Amino acid sequence: MKKSRKILALVLSLALVFALAACTNNDTPSGGDTTSPSPSASTPVETPDASKTPENTPAASDYAVAMITDYGDITDQSFNQTTYEACNEYCTANGVKFNYYKPNGDSTAERVAMVDAAVVDGYNVIVMPGYAFAETIKETAEMYPDVIFIALDVGEGDLGDYAASLPGNVYCAVYQEELCGYMAGYAAVKLGYSHLGFLGGMAVPAVVRYGYGFVQGADAAAAETGTDVTVEYVYGNQFFGDADITGVMDTWYQNLGVEAVFACGGGIYTSAAEAAAKTGGKVIGVDTDQSGIIDAYGEGMTVTSAMKGLAATVKTMLAEVEAGNFANHGGKIETLGLVSATDVESNYVQLPVATTQFNDNFTEADYVALVGKMLDGTVTVSNDTTVEPAANATTATVNSYGNIK
């Protein structure tokens, strides 16, 4: 298998040489917002390791960026759309060639085929959003040592043993989900919701960190306000909603009196939103600002969203590539969190300022103050996923139900 991949890589490389010699180019960068972005602060600069540097690194002016979607498309109002828009905005503003590729289906082979196509088309920086790209990285990174791969939300758990010897042309970013989970739980209680729910997808580490942070935030706000807070806690054991999960959510909203559910796991929000629509309940989104898709079930349904700073990561890393600083990041999996106490939208974990339903009890200024306390260590959040959900609360009541399916 590896031998055939090497032969394929050689053929593709020769094809690329002949294509460039003929000066043919049929790719047109996607259009978009030309507003100049302000990349957020990157992680501390370290001395480059020569063994972790992509071979024959091109000059900054020679970079061309391709983004590959996972199993969704660039209108999913989630990982793909956020990543696409960030790449497009940065590249348009900085005069960098950009295009995106959508696999024909949801398989590693089809994602690998898009990497092959992007390389043949002359793209040498490839951005990939989501854990589904772990196997793609394993199959392509060493085949294309002159190509830079930027993978979002791909961590050690996804890469397995491969993470220990990550090639120098690969950068992976993972996030401190417990921090934005905390922000969402804290905000929900401060905004007046006392009976909450957490509906996780599968109990993978990232989802568990979201949930445990959410409980800790709700608990802290309960202690501050003297509110009697209850959190119902369950996993669907899948990343999409269905009739069974919607039925449980119906019970939560209609019978238990749950007011807002943190739906944390891909498309599982559909079950929470369907149930919430029947009672006027609320939903909290995850990963990106999901208000656009959740509010389609009911106007004003989305309280807030616990977000990963995908756009900030993309813009920072593309700026680092253009500045010739990729060697400071290549071969690493970096865990990203808070970088600013005042410019909260530059953080790698955050709430959406524009769509969070702030009120007099929890204002935008209160949110900024909370971020400052989290950054300076006044507020600490545990990322221990080995304990039970209830271990994250001292004031709030947590009712854990395991898996629905």
Asked whether residue 165 falls in the same domain as residue 184, the answer is no
Asked whether residue 252 falls in the same domain as residue 198, the answer is yes
What is the average per-residue pLDDT within 226-238? 97
Asked whether residue 324 falls in the same domain as residue 293, the answer is no
Give residue 44's pLDDT band: very low, low, confident or very high (50, 70, 90). very low
Asked whether residue 166 falls in the same domain as residue 189, the answer is no
Q: Report whether pLDDT(361) > 60.
A: yes
* Tens-digit pLDDT profile for residues 372-405: 999 999 999 999 999 999 999 999 999 999 999 9
Asked whether residue 358 falls in the same domain as residue 265, the answer is yes
pTM over 0.85: no
What is the average per-residue pLDDT within 14-28? 38
* Tens-digit pLDDT profile for residues 247-275: 999 999 999 999 999 999 888 999 999 99
Q: How many domains does the chain have?
A: 2
Asked whether residue 356 falls in the same domain as residue 234, the answer is yes
Q: How far apart are alpha carbons 10 and 20 in whole angstroms?
A: 15
pLDDT of 61:
59
Examine residue 159 and state whether it is found in any structural domain, yes or no.
yes
pLDDT of 54:
57
Q: What is the extent of the structural domain holding 354?
A: 177-307+348-403
pLDDT of 72:
82
* Tens-digit pLDDT profile for residues 73-91: 898 878 899 999 999 999 9
Q: Which phi and psi (to 5°) does residue 116 adopt? A: -55, -45
Maximum Cα–Cα distance across the chain: 72
For all residues of the chain together, what is the average pLDDT? 88
The tokens describing 334, both together, are: 């970096």
pLDDT of 51:
43
Asked whether residue 168 falls in the same domain as residue 314, the answer is yes
Examine residue 183 and state whether it is found in any structural domain, yes or no.
yes
Q: If phi over 0 gives left and psi between -120 and 50 gives alpha, with beta otherwise, what is residue 210?
A: alpha
**Can you give the CATH number for the domain in which 128 is found?**
3.40.50.2300
Examine residue 115 and state whether it is found in any structural domain, yes or no.
yes
Examine residue 41 and state whether it is found in any structural domain, yes or no.
no
Q: Report whether pLDDT(50) > 60.
A: no
